[in-house]
């Protein structure tokens, strides 16, 4: 979630009266979702929009609160959602077990609303800080687009997703042409401005939800295009090359043009269990190397009939 949006709390309890009391207390300050059993709670938590906090009853008829918590901890998407257990007054053992399993806190029934509000506020404040930190460590400080760490995570995630769906995955490695002479002649801070502008243009050019661009390091960028086969990926790569040409950033020392240009290497495959993700990246790297050798300011793609991954 965005750190400024209203945070979402999922209340899970098989007793409708408990849901009503908690919902009324919390809905003034937070977005509230509810579930009357563990199965429904997991569906909501693993859905499109993950909640920021779960208030989770322990004793429920189908799957109990412990099992819900264990299931949340097993998925990357849900493992860091904080959970506050709801227990009976005599539930010291329940509390201990819940905390050992990774619950952040507990509240007791019958509810004391100011205590509930304070405990919820504390956990959400921590969650907000954790979200902000997570965002900061994934963003490149100079260009403000995702960094190498974010790329590594996104790549593995998309690789796995495309493996399951047997969908094509394209990758573009991008490098600014003759950037060393740019820095040497115009100065490092002008070089930084170019990196920012290139990053901004590349990001703005990618239109589809799953498309992902990151600064890979130095003057190198990387793009992942999930569910995109080679012909469409070439089209996207050409549009990326063009948007940098259109910026017309003067660069007298570029061997390819009088302005800043980029070279792009493009590879594609249908991911499989027996393929290593790095092989796709190596292939894109090789294509980038060819683009440089063949004169820069161009896209070189793995030939459409080169099913290197078969
Ligand atoms: N200004 C600036 N320069 C950077 C940054 N990171 C890497 N560079 C520079 O990017 C340049 C990369 O140069 P090279 O890898 O030699 O390649 P090139 O001059 O771009 O030549 P080709 O790739 O063959 O077109 C080096 O001079 C690095 O110092 C950065 O954050 N800011």
Do 218 and 90 reside in the same domain of the chain?
no
Minimum-distance ligand 1 atom for the alpha carbon of 182:
19
Same domain, residue pair 270 and 227? yes
Using the mean position of ligand 1's atoms as its centre, give its distance from the Cα of residue 61 in Å: 61
- Token pair belonging to 132: 């902000």
CATH number of the domain bearing residue 68: 3.40.50.2300
**Cα 177 to ligand 1 centre (Å):** 8
pLDDT single digits (tens) 61-91: 889 999 999 999 998 889 999 999 998 767 7
Cα 218 to averaged position of ligand 1 atoms, centre (Å) = 6
**pLDDT tens, position by position, 164-180:** 999 999 999 999 999 99
Do 272 and 180 fall into the same domain? yes
pLDDT by residue (tens digit) across 4-14?
Answer: 578 999 999 99
* 143 domain residue, yes or no: no
Alpha helices in 105-147 (DSSP H): 113-138
Domain membership of residue 157 as a residue range: 148-301
- With b for 16 or more beta-carbon neighbours within 10 A and e for fewer, the 117-139 pattern comes to eebbeebbeebeeebeeeeeebb
How would residue 2 be classed by pLDDT, with cut points 50, 70 and 90?
A: very low
Mutate to test the pocket of ligand 1, among 173, 182, 183 (most ligand atoms within 8 A of CB): 183
Provide the pLDDT for residue 62. Answer: 87
Whichever domain contains 281, its CATH number is 3.30.70.270
Point out the ligand 1 atom lying closest to the alpha carbon of residue 176: 20
Nearest CA to ligand 1 atom 7: 218
Q: Does residue 264 sit in the same domain as residue 163?
A: yes
pLDDT digits (tens, 9 = 90+) for 212-251: 999 999 999 999 999 999 999 999 999 999 999 999 999 9
Rounded distance from Cα 180 to ligand 1 centre (Å) = 4
Query: What is the Cα–Cα distance from 170 to 167, expressed in whole angstroms?
Result: 10
* Residue 4, pLDDT score: 54
User: What pTM does this model have?
Assistant: 0.76
Centre a 10 Å sphere on the Cβ of residue 38 and count the other Cβ atoms it contains: 23
End-to-end CA distance of the chain: 39
Give the angle 290-294-295 at the CA atoms, nearest 5°. 125
Q: What is the distance in A from the centroid of ligand 1 to the CA of 192?
A: 10
pLDDT in tens, 111-155: 999 999 999 999 999 999 998 998 899 999 999 999 999 999 999
Task: Report the alpha-carbon distance of residue 85 to residue 162 in Å, rounded.
Answer: 36
Query: Which protein residue has the closest C-alpha to ligand 1 atom 3?
Result: 191
Q: Do both 204 and 257 map to the same domain? A: yes
Q: Examine residue 220 and state whether it is found in any structural domain, yes or no.
A: yes
Q: Which of the listed residues 183, 219, 295 should we mutate to test ligand 1's pocket, taking the one with most ligand atoms within 8 A of CB? A: 219
Predicted pLDDT at 135: 86
pLDDT at position 195 is: 98
- In a shared domain, residues 66 and 123: yes
- In the chain, the number of structural domains is 2
| Structure tokens, 56 | 């989770």
Distance between CA atoms of residues 22 and 111, nearest Å: 8
Per the domain annotation, does 197 fall within a domain?
yes
Under the banding of pLDDT at 50, 70 and 90, the label for residue 3 is very low
Domain C-terminal end among 116, 136, 156: 136
pLDDT of 216 reads 97
The answer to whether the Cα torsion of 236, 241, 242, 248 is positive or negative is positive
The alpha carbon of 203 is separated from its chain's Cα centroid by a whole number of angstroms, namely: 15
3-state secondary structure 235-262: HHHHHHHHHHHHHCCECCCCCCCCECCE
Q: Indicate whether 303 pLDDT > 80.
A: yes
Confidence (pLDDT) at 77: 85
Q: Between β-strands 262-269 and 212-217, what pairing exists: parallel, antiparallel or unpaired?
A: unpaired
Whether 219 sits among the annotated catalytic residues: the reply is yes
The continuous run of DSSP H or E covering 269 comes out as strand 262-269
Encoded tokens for 57: 């009853």
User: Do 111 and 31 reside in the same domain of the chain?
Assistant: yes
In whole angstroms, give the CA distance from residue 220 to residue 174. 6
Q: Report which of residues 93 and 190 the model is more confident about.
A: 190
18 and 106 assigned to the same domain: yes
Identify whether residues 273 and 197 lie together within a single domain.
yes
Name the nearest CA neighbour of 243 among 281, 297, 282: 297
Whether pLDDT at 187 is above 80: yes
Asked, for residue 142, whether it belongs to a domain, the answer is no
List pocket residues of ligand 1, CB cut-off 6 Å: 142, 175-181, 183, 188, 191-192, 195, 218-219, 292, 296
Q: Which of 48, 67, 219, 229 is catalytic?
A: 219
- If we measure between CA atoms, which residue out of 292, 231, 233 comes closest to residue 263? 292
What is residue 89's predicted lDDT score, i.e. its pLDDT? 62
How far is Cα 85 from Cα 105, in angstroms, rounded to an integer?
6
């Amino acid at each position: 979630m965005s750190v400024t949006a209203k945070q979402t709390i999922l209340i899970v309890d098989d007793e409708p009266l408990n849901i009503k009391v908690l919902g009324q207390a919390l809905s003034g300050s937070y977005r509230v979702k509810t579930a009357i059993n563990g199965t429904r709670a997991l569906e909501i938590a693993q859905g499109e929009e993950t909640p920021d906090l779960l208030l989770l009853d322990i004793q429920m008829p189908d799957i109990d609160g412990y099992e819900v918590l264990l299931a949340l901890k097993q998925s990357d998407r849900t493992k860091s959602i904080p959970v506050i257990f709801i227990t009976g007054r005599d539930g010291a053992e329940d509390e201990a077990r819940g905390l050992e399993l990774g619950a952040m806190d507990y509240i007791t029934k019958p509810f004391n609303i100011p205590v509930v509000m304070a405990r919820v506020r504390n956990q959400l404040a921590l969650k907000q800080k954790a979200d902000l930190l997570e965002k900061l460590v994934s963003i490149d400080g100079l260009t403000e687009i995702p960094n190498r760490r974010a790329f590594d995570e996104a790549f593995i995630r998309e690789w796995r997703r495309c493996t399951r769906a047997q969908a094509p995955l394209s990758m573009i490695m991008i490098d600014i042409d003759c950037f060393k002479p740019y820095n040497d002649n115009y100065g490092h801070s002008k070089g930084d401005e170019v990196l920012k502008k290139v990053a901004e243009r590349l990001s703005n050019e990618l239109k589809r939800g799953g498309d992902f661009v990151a600064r890979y390091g130095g003057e190198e960028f990387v793009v992942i295009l999930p569910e995109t086969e080679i012909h469409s990926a070439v089209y996207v790569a050409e549009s990326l090359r063009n948007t940098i040409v259109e910026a017309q950033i003067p660069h007298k020392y570029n061997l390819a043009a009088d302005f800043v240009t980029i070279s792009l290497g493009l590879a594609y495959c249908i991911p499989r269990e027996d393929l290593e993700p790095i092989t796709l990246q190596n292939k894109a790297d090789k294509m980038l190397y060819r683009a440089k050798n063949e004169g820069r300011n161009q896209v070189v793609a793995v030939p459409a009939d080169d099913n290197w991954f078969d």
